[in-house]
Amino acid sequence: MSKKGELTTQQIIILIVLLISFIVILYFLFRLNIGKSSEEEICHNSIVMKGNPILSKGDVSINCKRAYVCLSKDGSCEAMTNPEIKKVGDNPEETYKVLADEMAGCWWMFGEGKINYVGKDFKENFYCSICSQLAFDNSLSDIEEFNESLDERVFYKYLEENEISEGQTYLNYLGLNSVEQIEETLSQEGGSFGTFEFSKQYFIMTGIYSEVGVWKWVAGLAAVGAVAGGIVATPFTGGASAIGGVVFAKAVLLGSISLGAVAGGFAGEYLGTAVSGDGVDNDFLSPVILEANSEEFAAFNCKDIMSLA
Amino acid sequence: MVKGKKAMLLTEEVLKIIVAVIGLVLLSYFLISFFSSGAKEKKQREAIETIDKISQIISSIGISGGNISVLQPQRWTLFSFTEEEKKPNQCTGQNCVCICNKVVGDLFDRQIKKCAKEGACLVIFNLQEFEDIKIEAYAKETTNINIQESGGKIQITKI
């Protein structure tokens, strides 16, 4: 006769089965990669909290982590350690879609240009946030349309022609108007779109300018001569959708940077577009893909990189 | 009959022990994770501070270079990643210096993974490879380093 409260063999076996089931369920939950979406939510929530004038009086900190993403055709990735591997097929549009979604996710996490998450700052500062670090596995070179690199213009055309949600293209969502308009503005400075080389790693970066605005920031950079590669900034005003902004290009020759007009023979690659905030006084850098730790990245002279590595 | 009952009892005992062991392992894992997460974060913050100091010295490096005294965090190690095939993600495929906890038995890139997950790194394009520098416990000795440029390369040495 068993003692009162003592476990029977049947109960013990049930316990073991339950424990094993729990471990199996946990394994599949991890495989589903729910962690990524929750990290994006955590980041977005911290930005919203920081942007709320009542809540931000307390000790609210931005809680955004950099994602390490590797695009691969065969599922392997030698360029990174434990990255989130995004498998793509032979169709180049699959690769573009991964990049487009990463950029859109970055814009969403940091408030889509509607939240001032840096508070009052009257100096000419630019606060940047690296949402993702991208690597391209060498298996991508097997895709016929790519030749060890990806054409930035073709990618931006994809953003312009494909919708993120009904009636809204990726490009519009990111606060940009049209590829032609960017190109036109770039060409005024002799610049053009570049390429993303598979041998290099890239950042998907967004950012916010202090309330003094992007033009004072550009002028401030020129005044201190702090730019390593140099940035050319040119304004453009929107057409039908009335989106206005500032297009940045890399200045090949270092020279003076003035408001809209540039002295010297500048010519360089597209570095991004600053757009006006929606309901806030700040300007924002629309998400852009920049070579990691490059001169172009350094040229932004980031005040604070507001995401954890 | 009595023998069969004895055997059944034995099976029950074994099963109970298995359940107890699984329970203990899970409990200890959760407890260790809970208490070590705070300590790890503190060490990571200290590592970032040290990396910032290295960065400041390198950005204003002259002929004499600069020293950093009393490196932190204690018991972590300063690594250089230069020519290897794989590097921690923060290095973006370039030469870099990292501060992280040293793993025992560096198999399957465990050290790189550890540095990528918990360490702090700084990209230095012209870094000269150096032997791992262990940051000793303060009770034992303080660890100091010298950073200088020589022949276009950044050298980091223990002093």
Delimit the domains of chain B by residue range.
2-158
Higher pLDDT, B101 or A226: B101
* pLDDT of amino acid B13: 79
Residue-averaged pLDDT of chain B: 85
Higher pLDDT, B100 or A250: B100
Question: A125: pLDDT confidence band, cut at 50, 70 and 90?
Answer: confident
Mean pLDDT of A268-275: 82
Task: Scan residues 2-61 of B and list those with Cβ closer than 8 Å to A.
Answer: 8, 11-12, 15-16, 18-19, 22
Element of type H or E holding B153: strand B153-158
- Nearest chain A residue (CA) to B17: A12
For chain A, percent of residues with pLDDT exceeding 70: 75
Considering only CB atoms, A68 lies closest to which of B15, B89, B120, namely B89
* ipTM of the complex model: 0.72
Mean pLDDT of A162-176: 92
Instruction: Please give the model's pTM, rounded to 2 decimal places.
Output: 0.78
B106 CB within 8 Å of a chain A CB: no
- Nearest chain B residue (CA) to A2: B9
Q: Do B89 and A80 touch (CB under 8 A)?
A: yes
Using DSSP's 3-state secondary structure scheme, residue B137 falls into: coil
* pLDDT of amino acid A176: 85
Buried b (16+ CB within 10 A) or exposed e, A13-22: eebeeeeeee
For chain A, percent of residues with pLDDT exceeding 90: 36
Confidence check: pLDDT of A256 > 60: no
Question: A137: pLDDT confidence band, cut at 50, 70 and 90?
Answer: very high
Q: What is the maximal distance between C-alpha atoms in chain B?
A: 90
**Which of A9, A81, A85 to mutate to probe the B interface, most B CBs <10 Å?**
A81
Q: Do A293 and B94 touch (CB under 8 A)?
A: yes
Question: A197: pLDDT confidence band, cut at 50, 70 and 90?
Answer: very high
The answer to whether B130 touches B79, Cβ cutoff 8 Å, is no
Q: Do B12 and A292 touch (CB under 8 A)?
A: no
